[in-house]
């Protein structure tokens, strides 16, 4: 019996996704549907820091209702540096 995993892209995939992919026979990366117009895990993720839970959001450039593989990160400001300054709680 084949085990199939179908997933949409995420800003930072959760650890369990990699385990699902490892255990599957087929992995389908579903990126040809509409990018959500509101908040979604495709452009943000929640992390745990020394000061509690925080959201990291990657700003995206889009022109309304576009499919996922046509949406790009907004490079008009340095959001990556802000993310790298966050300290993960270990």
Q: Is the pLDDT of residue 35 over 70?
A: yes
| The token pair that represents 67 in the structure block | 């499919």
- The confidence band for 9, taking pLDDT boundaries of 50, 70 and 90, is confident
Angle at 4 between CA 6 and CA 73, to 5 degrees: 20
pLDDT, tens only, 38-62: 778 889 999 888 888 989 999 998 8
pLDDT at 87 over 70: no
Which residue, 37, 43, 29, 32, is CA-closest to 72? 43
């Amino acid at each position: 019996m084949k085990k199939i995993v179908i997933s949409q892209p995420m800003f930072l995939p959760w650890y369990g996704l990699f385990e699902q992919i490892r255990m599957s026979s087929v992995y389908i990366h579903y990126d040809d549907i509409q990018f959500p117009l509101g908040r979604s895990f495709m452009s943000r993720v929640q992390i745990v820091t020394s000061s509690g839970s925080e959201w990291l959001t990657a700003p995206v450039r889009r022109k309304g209702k576009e499919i996922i593989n046509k949406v790009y990160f907004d490079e008009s400001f340095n959001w990556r540096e802000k993310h790298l300054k966050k300290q993960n709680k270990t």
